[in-house]
Amino acid sequence: MRIGIIGGAGYTAGELLRILINHPAAEIVFVHSSSQAGVPITDVHSGLFGETDLTFSSDYDLHAIDVLFLCSGHGASTAFWQANERSAGLKVIDLAQDFRDESEGYVYGLPEWQREKIASATLIANPGCFATAIQLALLPLANAKLLKSEVSINAITGSTGAGVKPSTTTHFSWRSDNISAYKVFEHQHLKEVTRNLTLLQGESPLPTLNFVPMRGDFARGIFASIHTDCPLSEEEALQLYDDYYKDAAFTFVSPRSVDLKQVVNTNKCLISLEKHGEKLVVCSVIDNLLKGASGQAVQNMNLLFGLDEHTGLRLKASAF
């Protein structure tokens, strides 16, 4: 598979390169960056030093590739297609939020929900990182029409979730030894979560989703803790989740509490369940740059080209 990347200097592109350099069926044709053109990739993504001699390009040829990854900021994908014409047969995986409503022929790329639809698609809108963690925690309940009462969501993310450009809330002296809430009840990922869970619930109305996102004092990962009323016992809930994810390549239901370090540096999502009175507590953990972005993008690429979902993604967690 001949691959092109637009927006190659950011965190998601760096992780994408780390995976694709070692992917047995991938050939990277170009990595475009308007800000870093002509610069060796390892000058920006220093973790790849010794693994590649690629440089960032100032131009690109969409006819020379089989799949294009769009890794620029939100809104840039729309602008890109206003300025360029997609070549016949070119598959596209967009890591921005521009087409997550499945407009313009895009398919929402959450394999645990839409594996078959993804496999037959041409255009993929890769999910958001918070959206992935939250949806994987709630898909089995929505699919069983069991989201009946208000859902409380608290999720904390690492600093890489804010992107590579520094800001007042991402630099070390502010982030270190600090936790803060932001965009309370208004985070942009709620839009795609609400849309998709509503589709799953069907005629059963979706209850209010109260989402409090938080910034953590660590670099990568998302820990989501969710609770809602549920009529199932803990054993019944575990069976529901086990059945739903029995064929999932990277999402697993844990018999014990989950830790963030179990998934950092992997494309996995781990889920744990506890029942307390009427409340079901669901915790999910992912790496925001992998299952929440670049790893899931490669998982989607594998599905598009008929490969095993694990190809290039057998990564070990940094669990100690």
Question: What amino acid positions are annotated as catalytic residues?
Answer: 129
Sign of CA dihedral 110, 114, 120, 124: negative
The encoded tokens of residue 244 equal 């739903």
SS3 48: helix
Which are the contacts of 137, defined by CB distance < 8 A and separation ≥ 6? 224, 226, 271, 282, 283, 284
Which are the contacts of 300, defined by CB distance < 8 A and separation ≥ 6? 93, 109, 111, 118, 124, 126
DSSP structure string for 145-183: T---S-EEEEEEE-GGGG-SS--TTTSHHHHTT--EE-S
Q: Are 244 and 216 in contact (CB under 8 A)?
A: no
* 12 vs 31: CA distance, rounded Å: 13
Which are the contacts of 83, defined by CB distance < 8 A and separation ≥ 6? none
Q: Are 154 and 216 in contact (CB under 8 A)?
A: no
Question: ∠ CA 311-314-317 to the nearest 5 degrees?
Answer: 155
* 86 vs 189: CA distance, rounded Å: 27
| CA dist list (Å): 87 to 65, 68, 201 | 9, 11, 37
The encoded tokens of residue 208 equal 């209010």
